[in-house]
Structure 1
Amino acid sequence: MMAGGTLAGAGESGGHTLIYLARHGQTPLNESGVLRGLADPPLDETGRDQAQRLGARLGPLGLWAVISSPLLRARQTAQPIAERAGLEVATDQCLVDRDYGQWTCISRDAVVAQWGSVDRAPGAGPRSAVAGQAVKGLSDIARRYLGGSVTVVSHDAVNRQVLVAFDAGLGDPDTIPQDNGCFNTLLWKGGGWAVLSVNELPEGP
């Protein structure tokens, strides 16, 4: 899915950075319908295949860095990309998933039925905290690798907040598709962001 958008933010000049913002591959919890958050399951067989496809698609693009959420499913997804690029996986806390507190590993539908939405459930980390942390972190990464390209691997709850922060025209974050093993293309230029594509899925072998 291609996306257009003006550069969000302003103030800095010179240079640009391409960031490929990926979502980790599938885990058993993705299939179960529960809130995952800071739970730390590994990729399942499908997820490992999705990670290999991302590696084949993004690894050869001349990346300067591969940076992952510290959670296992993201690190395992980042590894094939880094291997193809001849790099090591770095981790950054700014990419970590939303903390659902006591509702972690509880059915999303059950939480919504009880509280009306996940956002109203007591103890669930606020979306604003996720967005603020990720936007600042990605901007720092873009500055650090100015002139290059970077793959970062995060989570759907993070990616959706980032995409809307960088392109409000994308609408409600909950409606933005973020399939397991997808990536989005972001451009940092002149101190602002543009979303170039959303929810791209690498082709299979």
Structure 2
Amino acid sequence: MSSSLSMGGLASTRLVLVRHGQTDFNRDGRLQGQVDIPLNAAGAKQAALLAAAVAENPPDLIVSSPLQRAHETARAIGQACGLEVSTDEAFLERGFGQWEGLTGDEIRRRWPTEHAAWRDHREVTGLDVEDRPAVGSRVAAACRQLVADNRGGTVMVVTHGAAITLAITALLGLDANEFRGLAGLENCHRSVLEPLRSDPDGRLMRLLSHNVGPDFI
């Protein structure tokens, strides 16, 4: 993935956002948020498959969320590519406060009003649930800085489902509370973006591919 060329012949910077491999919470339909749990056996296999695919065309830099499910996935990729992995708390998953570790049905039964607000992309108050726009801004800002610091290269960020969806929404210049046209990534799938050259402020990006599986290079 290093130093691809744009249609104009100039070096194009690429941002690759990768969701971590499967955990037991993923398998059981539990909301993870910032609970720090490892990959399960299926997730480790997914990470190995993704690592082998990425090694065919490696990035220049790998940065990970510090949560172990993301870091384990990133380390597998880094080992296959001969790259060190750094971590950045800006890439933590969206915090879900009192809901972390619960299933959707459990949340709906205990907090029906707040659950309805969550599903309707409205702010949830009083439960320490991180606001959608705040997550998008947090992750997108860190992505923009990495892209600015690595012009002409490919930056890979290994992070989490909600963090990725909300970051892409922000990087496309869309409203995190209103826009619903972006499906979430599956485990060990990835999306690729590049800076939007027509944006004078250098804040916007365009989405080149989304939810690409580990078996595609």
Q: TM-score range by the shorter chain?
A: 0.7 to 0.9
Identity over aligned pairs, percent: 30
Matched, 1:188 2:195: yes
Match of 1:203 in 2: 215
For 2:208 and 2:76, locate their aligned partners in 1 and report how far apart those are by CA, in whole Å.
24
Query: RMSD value over aligned CA atoms?
Result: 2.2
Q: Deviations over 1:106-137 (max 9, x none)?
A: 22232234222434252211111110100100
Q: How many residues align?
A: 190
CA distance in 2 between partners of 1:147 and 1:112 (Å): 46
The question of whether the paired residues in 2 share the 8 Å contact of 1:111 and 1:117 is answered with no
- Give the TM-score taking structure 1 as reference length: 0.85
Q: Does 1:84 align with 2:80?
A: yes
Instruction: Please tell me whether the aligned partners of residues 134 and 158 of structure 1 are also in contact (alpha carbons under 8 angstroms).
Output: yes
Aligned partner (choices 22, 31, 40) of residue 18 of structure 2: 22
Equivalent residue for 2:5?
A: none
Letter paired with 2:140: V
Contact 2:32/2:100, CA 8 A, preserved across alignment: yes
Bigger CA radius of gyration: 2
For CA contacts below 8 A with separation 6 or more, give which structure has more relative contact order: 1
The answer to whether the Cα contact below 8 Å between 1:16 and 1:189 also exists between their aligned partners in 2 is no
Secondary structure of 1:120 counterpart: coil
Q: Distance in 1 between matches of 2:11 and 2:135?
A: 27
2:55 corresponds to 1:47: no
C-alpha contact 2:124 2:131 (8 A) present in aligned 1: no
Residues 105-184 of structure 1 aligned to structure 2 (within 5 Å): 105-113=101-109, 114=111, 115=114, 116-118=116-118, 119-120=123-124, 122-167=127-172, 168=174, 171-172=179-180, 176-184=183-191
Q: Normalising by structure 2, what TM-score? A: 0.80
Runs of 4+ in 1 over 4 A off after TM superposition: none
Matching residue's letter, 2:80? R
Instruction: Provide structure 2 residue ranges, at least 5 long, that are not aligned to the other structure.
Output: 1-9
Partner of residue 7, structure 2: none
